[in-house]
Amino acid sequence: MEATKVEAICDQADIALRTFFNHFPSKRDVVHQLGIDATAEVTARIAAAHERGQSTRERLSLFFLHSVEVSLQRGPPHPELLAALVAVLFGSADLQAARGAMIGLLEEGIAVGDVAAEHPLETLCDAVIGTFYRIMIDWANQDGYPIREQLENASRFLCDSIEGRSGTA
């Protein structure tokens, strides 16, 4: 990523250098905007799964499966870009929005009894979001990483792990 020149970005995007710098004074600003867009997309995927699914298990499956499709369509992110995104976004309101959407999904699951209430909601959320991001990091850093299989397995494991008394997480 450090080797990427602004001129090359402008050529690829077919925009003038001056226009680019009007929107992004520095490379860090570009990375920050990419991070905002990426986390907004994750938040939207969580919200869509929450709306479409009938149970927490179905909602988490929809989120993970949609993430697989989007990821495979785009290909793995460059490891250096992913590291820069994490550094820029750590603790940001954008990441908190994605976390908030997942908390809402899990909170509803607790309310209807398909998610166990024995553990703090924040811990459940961290387990789901952390697992998701860990798989994305591994995919970016390992050639041939089986992202589809890993996300599907993670979804099943997480649902089995958080299942509530109704047995339908």
Query: Which residues of the chain fall short of a pLDDT of 70?
Result: 1-4, 86-92, 165-169
Instruction: Say what the pLDDT of residue 4 is.
Output: 63
Residue 13 lies in a domain: no
Residue 140 lies in a domain: yes
Instruction: Say what the pLDDT of residue 97 is.
Output: 86
User: Residue 116's domain is classified under what CATH number?
Assistant: 1.10.357.10
Residue 6 lies in a domain: no
Residue 145 lies in a domain: yes
Residue 77 lies in a domain: yes
Q: Which residues of 136-160 are buried (b: 16+ CB within 10 A; e: fewer)?
A: bbebbeeeebebeebbeebbeebbe
Domain with 62, as residue range(s), is: 26-162
> Residue 50 burial by CB count (10 A; 0-12/13-18/19+): exposed, middle or buried?
buried
116 contacts 165 by C-beta, under 8 angstroms = yes
Instruction: Name the DSSP class of 15.
Output: -
Instruction: Say what the pLDDT of residue 168 is.
Output: 60
Residue-wise pLDDT for 128-158, tens only, equals: 999 998 998 898 889 999 999 999 999 999 9
CA 71 to chain centre: 10
Residue 3 lies in a domain: no
DSSP string, 104-147: HHHHHHHHHTSB-SSS-HHHHHHHHHHHHHHHHHHHHHSTT--H
100 contacts 42 by C-beta, under 8 angstroms = no
Instruction: Specify the number of domains making up the chain.
Output: 1
Element (H, E) at 42: helix 27-52
Residue 95 lies in a domain: yes
| Single pTM value for the model | 0.81
Residue 143 lies in a domain: yes
